[in-house]
Amino acid sequence: VLALLGGVTAAIHRDRLPDQVIRVVSLTGVAAPGFWLALLMIQYLAVDRGWFPTGGYINPGDSFSGWLKTMTLPAFALSLPVAAQLTRIVRTAVVEELDK
């Protein structure tokens, strides 16, 4: 969903500030190693802010909300590079369609 929104926004505002910002962010998401992004997210969101647990696993049968908190950060870290690549693909496709 974020990739679609970012790609379409970048294509509509081609060669202007929103496009440049989205392209830099998506290129960074593609180029940065996933484990590095995950470590940054753990440091900022779990250690500094305390919004998520720093590690461990909670069985969904024991506490579903605890399980969701435990799985949110890994799922987000794994999806970031994919979303960044999809943003670039969507932008290119929309730009090609707008140029027709």
Q: For 21-86, give the DSSP string.
A: HHHHHHHHHHHS-HHHHHHHHIIIIIIIS-SS-SS----TTT-HHHHHHHHHHHHHHHHHHHHHHH
Across the range 58-85, mean pLDDT stands at 93
CB 1 within 8 A of CB 84: no
Q: Is residue 6 pLDDT above 90, yes or no? A: yes
pLDDT, position 12: 96
How many domains does one find in the chain? 1
Nearest to 25 by CA among 72, 93, 92, 80: 80
- How far is residue 60 CA from its own chain's centroid? 24
pLDDT, position 34: 87
The rounded percent of the chain whose pLDDT value lies above 90 is 91
CB 12 within 8 A of CB 96: no
pLDDT tens-place string over residues 21-63: 999 999 999 999 989 999 999 999 999 999 999 888 999 999 9
Q: What mean pLDDT value characterizes the chain?
A: 94
Against a cut of 0.85, is the pTM above it?
no
Domain of residue 95, residue span: 2-99
